[in-house]
Amino acid sequence: MLKFRLWGTVLWLGLALIVWGQWPLRATAATDPATEVKAAYVVDANSGQAIYADHADKKLPIASLSKLMTLYLVTQAVRKGQVKWTDNVPISADVRKLAASPTLSTMPMAKDEKFTVKELFAATLVGSSNSSAIALGELIGGSNAKFIQLMNQQAARWQLAAHFVSASGLDNTDLIRYHYNLPGTSNQAQNLVSARAITTVARQLIKDYPAVIDIANHGSIKIHRYRVATLVQILKGQKHYDAAVPVDGLKTGYTAQAGACLVATFKQGGRRLIATTLGGTWKYTANAKLRLQTQQQERYHNVAPATMKYRLPGTQTTLKLVAKSSVKRWENVQQPFRQTQTAAVPVQRQQVNYLAANTTVMRLRLTDPNSGTVTTVAYVSPKAQMIPGPMQQVAKATATKHQLNLPLAFAN
């Protein structure tokens, strides 16, 4: 279980006093249980830069966060013309039975009542409707089993650490009662997906269908005579909203096996970020802490100097190099990037080296200690230069020394 280190600043979060910590989110002895998570990941939705990662590639139960993959595949089917937003979705007797469950349903589906793709999409996202997600999957895939195959195929295309057995995120202990357990899977089977993987799904969903944020950012939606309330209780106007770390989406998830899971979308410095926490003990606290630390410690700026002085390996020559391009990244002000310089051109030892203008001379490797993200910046010679090799420099220095030691002859 990952925990947050203490740094002694006490802040008010929601209705509780919580002691906040420093990066990284790893186990320590004295920690508030509310901030415990099994995995965490933060990414820039625009660039894809990983800002923070801890156990981000470990496959874990993610409960209803699974619906993000279901919704992504729906948007792709609409984009390809396979279905329309206004199409009515066939609802099986088993799905209607699931929709009547007092514990597994957030929206009833009365007998013969019809719902469009758009309506069930909204019910799945806002209210986390399990029956809506399964019905959409059957429409897109032709059957529940075929749709789950599509989910896994998409995960494989993105090379994600993910395995799906359910379109809704319910595990087989619940699905078996409605005949939606995937054939060949155990009675306890559940979706196992990494924090990085489900964040990637969320990022692709937002990228391909930006309206998903507008839909998610509602306290409730009205579908027919039903008022479907959001399960993301940290949106503005909801009881756990925190103005210090506001969000505008996206999806929660919870089962006894998965714990509290959350994919939160928010903006910082005009850029959209996504913060994911899996396996929390409390619904929102750990993710709020993660967002607060991102807000306080991460800065988006040029991470590579415009110019650098660089001494060619094995020589006495120091060059003033110019960055080939400016590189903007998120960088932690308390744990900045580690810098490593690597020579990009071989140096001839016994002859003059010619560097043409704009020749890449050195590569600067920047490693983020919090996420493992690596950025490489090329540095070039701004003008053509002639540089003696190391042996030539030694010979020249030796000759100069000999000249200085020559005896002087004076005429009598």
Q: Pick the residue with more confidence: 2 or 248?
A: 248
396 has pLDDT over 80: no
* Residue 67, amino acid: K
Predicted local confidence at residue 30, as pLDDT: 44
- Matching residue, tokens 């410690």: 297
Mean pLDDT over each residue of the chain, to the nearest integer: 89
Share of the chain above pLDDT 70, in %: 87
268 has pLDDT over 90: yes
pLDDT in tens, 281-334: 998 999 999 999 999 999 999 999 999 999 988 888 899 999 999 999 999 999
404 has pLDDT over 60: no
Predicted local confidence at residue 339, as pLDDT: 96
Which fold would CATH assign to domain 10-298? Answer: Beta-lactamase (3.40.710)
pLDDT in tens, 173-225: 999 999 999 999 999 999 999 999 999 999 999 999 999 999 999 999 999 99
pLDDT in tens, 11-62: 333 333 333 344 444 433 346 777 889 999 999 999 999 999 999 999 999 9
Section 87-92 average pLDDT: 98
pTM listed for this prediction: 0.86
Question: What is the chain's length?
Answer: 412
Section 81-109 average pLDDT: 97
Active site amino acids: 64, 67, 128
Measure Cα distances from 355 to 142, 271, 348, 367 in Å: 63, 40, 12, 28
Domain ranges, ordered by start, for the chain: 10-298, 303-397
Q: Which residues pair with 363 in a beta bridge?
A: 342, 378
Section 381-405 average pLDDT: 63
CB contact set of 13 (below 8 Å; sequence gap of 6+):
242, 244, 285, 288, 289
6 has pLDDT over 50: no
378 has pLDDT over 50: yes
Do residues 51 and 44 touch, judged by C-beta distance below 8 A?
yes
pLDDT tier at 4, thresholds 50, 70, 90: very low
Q: What is the 3-state secondary structure (H, E, C) of 189-240?
A: CCCEECHHHHHHHHHHHHHHCCHHHHHHCCCEEEECCEEEECCCCCECCCCC
Q: Pick the residue with more confidence: 367 or 403?
A: 367
pLDDT in tens, 325-368: 999 999 999 999 999 999 999 888 778 888 999 999 999 999 99
Predicted local confidence at residue 10, as pLDDT: 32
